[in-house]
Structure 1
Amino acid sequence: MKINYNGTTIEVKDNLSLHSFVTELQLESRTIAAAVNEEIVPKKNWENFFLQEGMTVDIFNLVAGG
């Protein structure tokens, strides 16, 4: 299936959880946040949040400071 990831359309396997997607990208989950269709998905929900065709996924690096 196709999703939009950080502005690029990519192909991913069906029934892919947000947690598995982040893991496959080899991203450090403790330093990122994820939004799907412009809504932040809490990390505690990533394992049970499954991506669907046409969704927009944005991954952000968290930065400390002010």
Structure 2
Amino acid sequence: MHIKLNNKSIQVDLTCTLQALLDSYQTSEAGVAVAINDTVIPHSSWPSTTLSEHDEITLFQAIAGG
């Protein structure tokens, strides 16, 4: 199935979970927030969140500032 990851179209397995997607891209989980279709997904839900065709996933990296 096709999804968008940070505005880039990619293809993933039909049974892909959010956690599997992040693992496949070797994304460090420290300081990362994830939204699917503009809804932030809690870290505790990543392993059980199944992706759907045309989902738009956005990764946010925490930035310290003042």
Q: Amino acid of the residue matched to residue 34 of structure 2?
A: A
Q: Distance in 1 between matches of 2:7 and 2:13?
A: 18
Point out 4+ residue stretches in structure 1 off by more than 3 angstroms: none
Which residue of structure 2 aligns with residue 6 of structure 1? 6
Q: TM-score, normalised by structure 2?
A: 0.93
Q: Distance in 1 between matches of 2:62 and 2:15?
A: 27
Q: Amino acid of the residue matched to residue 11 of structure 2?
A: E
Structure 1: gaps spanning 5 or more residues: none
Q: How many pairs does the alignment contain?
A: 66
Which residue of structure 2 aligns with residue 44 of structure 1? 44
Instruction: Report % sequence identity.
Output: 27
RMSD: 0.8
Which residue of structure 1 aligns with residue 20 of structure 2? 20
Q: TM-score, normalised by structure 1?
A: 0.93
Q: How far 1:13 sits from its partner (Å)?
A: 1.1
Secondary structure of 2:26's partner? coil
Q: How far 1:31 sits from its partner (Å)?
A: 2.1
